[in-house]
Chains A and B, each alone.
Chain A
Amino acid sequence: MSTATTTPRTPTQSPAKPKHWWSYAPHEPFLTRRNRVLWYGFLLLVLAIGAWPVLNRLINGVAVTDLTSQMPWGAWVAFYIYFVGLSAGAFLLSSLIYVFGMHQFEKIGRAALLSAIVSMGVALAFIGLDLGRVDRALITLVYFHWTSPLSWEVRFYTMYVVLLTAELVFALMLQRRTMAPAKAHTWMRILGIVGVPLAIFGVHGGTGTIFAVVKARGMWFGGLFPIVFVVSAVVSGTALVMAIHYWQARGAGKRPDTKLMQQLSVVLIGAIFVDLGLMFYEFIVPILSFEHHDKSIMAIMALGPYAWSFWVFQIGFLVAALVICMSPLKRSAGWLVTAAMLVVVGILGVRFNIVVPPLVPPVIEGYPVNDYFPTLTEWLVCAFLCAGGALAYSLVSEWQPIHDPDPDEHVDEHEEVAA
């Protein structure tokens, strides 16, 4: 690792080799004592507020949403694809380190893997709560229908979570040097090599395919869609990892690694450019071909009731992030994290605009135009699941060396390399 955190570290306990990997504690606290109270207090508050809406959903079914038979998918599906995207993006970022050997990012490797796993869990929770029959969720693994992208996805998600968990375990063993680095790297490389196509084609391209095969709906149907999904996943996943790195460092009283964030922002810039370019084609083709159905959806996006989401989040936030990352502002970690957070929120707008506007125009003229806005219950369920994800991430980070610096940086302090 070239750049060390500048705050001096004083390992408190002697680096005696722990007996079991589960009894291991990170060398450096995840958060300072004060920040721990604030952070967990905040999360518990959100969870407490969201508990009743979740229960209400479980008792009263999907009727607690603003969905109808004409508007079958809404905020929860948008959040589901959003979290699948965060997960795939974060994982692809980790593969830069473990598969492609970009060791300048090694510091955020475990955080990227953990956030990928947790995001996938949150995504599954969202889609689970969206099912009319949550009790039958697991039969999706029993019955398989090869023409249904959703049926494939369920299997890909399962494989993906197993693979990522295995990779994280190896990364943690590497970090703790309970496995020879060469051996750990080989395993992680193998898992990464399997995982990259799985994440691109299976997990996120596949999630795009769920929409892309629906010829009944304008904007969804077409071959570009799965690619858009993958690219915007890289955008959001990179931004998420940047934000996590920054806020964790601040929370633990350390200084965020500005150089690392700048390097990540280069990935971010490239991905945002490609994303905006794809968006351009997505729009220009139906406009120039005067495709009626797609054009009506675009009109809803850009001028309709959700125009704020399109202009502020999808365009505004992404462009603002691009400007920050490419201007002298990029010298400050604070600005870079602002850009990252604009992206994390902006991509949520992108996901919302993927799901909702194409369902608004009626499939047959004469049906009523749909008018959907998530209910308070829907929003609070979203808050609950996001807070649940953040809590899960934090608890694992408290327990395992997710954010510890690379042991090579102080290898003399830790001569516990197990061959």
Chain B
Amino acid sequence: MANPTKTEGPRWGMVIDLQKCVGCDSCTVACKAENRTPPGVSYNVVVEEETGTYPNVRRINIPRPCMQCDVPPCVTVCPVNATYKHDNGIVVIDADRCIGCRYCITACPYGARSFDFGESYAGEWDGADALQSPEYGVDRGSRETWKAPIGTVRKCNFCMHRLERGEEPACCETCIGDARYFGDLNDPNSVVSKLAASPRAFRLKEELGTEPRVYYLR
């Protein structure tokens, strides 16, 4: 749940209803379009977990953004404080400080972080590198070799630039099954707070004590 000691301002959180997710991957596509992530970098993925053997097979889809953990192991290991917990609950990365050691990638138990190897869609569509998403409100202009965020680590940030404009993250807006809920976990009356308190709610790898801010409804 939201940090009870922290009352000022929103502390963002997400709830994903697994019963409503149809595994269409729209969120992944919307995320790529919104954040203009390069090849090999996906802030959001939908994991398909198959259990059992034919014909008794069960498949569930687990959309996986960054969990924006309240006790984020990725943050504790970063040698230069390039990644840290923002007051609004989001774990952010400062692409102008990250040294690209990828220690945080090894430490994230959810595989939510990607390294920007500098690949590009330039050969596939025109103007692919002409412009980058204004992540964290920073306008980085065109995508160029040597220029951050190339060589640094990247991840989902709940579309912080959209939140600042009063919009939902792209994945929530686009979800065809209406499976994603987004809001302020600090506000006990918000939809996300209520859903997160439901008996259906659980979090991934809760035993690690990372206190994710993304809840799932089973």
Contact = CB atoms under 8 A, between A and B. Distances in A.
Contact of B208 (A136, A149, A215, A367): A215
A148 B77 contact: yes
B92 interface: no
Given A140-B79, A148-B78, A214-B106, A61 B73 contact: no
B117 A364 contact: no
B109 interface: yes
Contact of A69 (B105, B110, B152): B105
Contact of B119 (A63, A136, A151): A63
Nearest to B99: A136
Interface string A193-234: 000000000000000001001111100000000000000000
A45 interface: no
A127 B119 CA distance: 22
Contact of B79 (A68, A70, A148, A217): A148
Question: DSSP class of B's interface residues: helix, strand, loop or mixed?
Answer: loop
Question: Helix, strand, loop or mixed for chain A's interface?
Answer: loop
Contacts of B17: none
Contacts of A73: 102, 106
B41 interface: yes
Contact of B97 (A70, A136, A150, A216): A136
B117 A213 contact: no
Interface in A62-120: 62-63, 67-70, 72-73
CB-CB nearest 7 A-B residue pairs: A132-B100, A132-B151, A216-B109, A366-B47, A151-B79, A72-B102, A69-B114
Interface of A: 60-63, 67-70, 72-73, 127, 130-133, 136-137, 139-140, 142-143, 145, 147-151, 154, 210, 213-217, 359, 362-367
Given A131-B151, A136-B100, 15 more contacts: A69-B105, A72-B106, A73-B102, A73-B106, A130-B101, A131-B101, A132-B99, A132-B100, A133-B99, A148-B77, A213-B76, A215-B73, A363-B110, A364-B47, A365-B49
Interface of B: 40-41, 47-50, 62, 64, 73, 76-82, 97-103, 105-111, 113-119, 148, 150-153, 204, 208
20 contacts: A60-B118, A61-B150, A62-B151, A63-B119, A72-B105, A73-B106, A131-B99, A131-B101, A131-B151, A132-B153, A136-B99, A150-B79, A213-B76, A214-B77, A214-B106, A363-B111, A364-B204, A366-B47, A366-B50, A366-B62
